[in-house]
Amino acid sequence: MILKLLTAIAITLSAPATAQSLARDGSLNLCTLMAGFAEIIMVKRQERIPLTKALDVALQFSSGLGLPWSPLKNLTLQAYERPVASSEQARQQAIGDFADDAMLECMKEVSSVSE
């Protein structure tokens, strides 16, 4: 799953862009990447994968894409602060909500930096 996400992100990031859209698209791509990572990590959480293994996934993601370790570690820790849901429907909801929360927080942060 991680390899598929990395491939999709690489294709997206290599698409041609105009000078005006670079900043906007770069922010959107970064936040989409963080939301995708959040989804992967919350899936691990909902599967009751140990935190040490989830942190290994975060490290692979960081080194594979050249992203800073700290935000990925923090997002992983945030996922593991949330409970594991008892039903499949609730697990899917938790995964989607966590990815949406990560996207929202990223977009807010990017907006505050660019203002």
Residue 81 lies in a domain: yes
Residue 13 lies in a domain: no
Residue 53 lies in a domain: yes
Residue 12 lies in a domain: no
Residues in the chain: 115
Rounded Cα–Cα distance for residues 12 and 66 (Å): 16
Residue 102 lies in a domain: yes
Q: How many domains does the chain have?
A: 1
Query: Tens digit of pLDDT for each residue in 11-51?
Result: 444 444 443 443 456 678 889 999 999 999 999 999 999 99
Is the per-residue pLDDT at 66 higher than 90?
Answer: no
Q: Look up the domain containing 89 and give its range.
A: 2-7+22-114
86, burial (CB in 10 Å: exposed 0-12, middle 13-18, buried 19+): exposed
pLDDT confidence of 69, banded at 50, 70, 90? Answer: very high
Residue 14 lies in a domain: no
Query: Tens digit of pLDDT for each residue in 49-65?
Result: 999 999 999 999 999 98
Rounded Cα–Cα distance for residues 52 and 29 (Å): 27
